[in-house]
Structure 1
């Protein structure tokens, strides 16, 4: 068996996906992103509040009332 035959039989641990930022193929080192740059862009969006996970309807964040 040659090295190429072995590579064709190996099943990757993660499916190949496109980078969520730019659409290029992702790399193993920065999965699911294609580069460190795209990874940092995504992190900045989370930290700056661009991405938000909504809470339950009627839930208030800054409530001074204490539950009894």
Structure 2
């Protein structure tokens, strides 16, 4: 029995190169280790942030 399943193709989040989503691709969704490391570095340096309001420090003394 043959399956005619198409392999999904996604864009690398870093460089936008087309990447086949296969179990053999150990860097997925990235195209390479380089793109994966660049993305990891961006997370480590806190370049990716979710916008939001500053939260109040519960341990800070209250201004009266």
Q: Provide TM-score, normalisation by structure 2.
A: 0.64
Root-mean-square deviation (Å): 2.5
Answer 1 or 2: higher relative contact order, Cα 8 Å, separation at least 6: 2
User: Where has structure 1 moved over 6 Å in runs of 4 or more?
Assistant: none
Tell me the number of residue pairs that the alignment of Structure 1 and Structure 2 aligns. 56
The CA distance in 2 between the partners of 1:19 and 1:42, in whole Å, is 11
Unaligned ranges ≥5, structure 1: 1-5
TM-score w.r.t. structure 1 length? Answer: 0.61
Task: Choose between structure 1 and 2: higher helix proportion.
Answer: 1
Compare the two structures and name the one with the higher strand fraction: 2
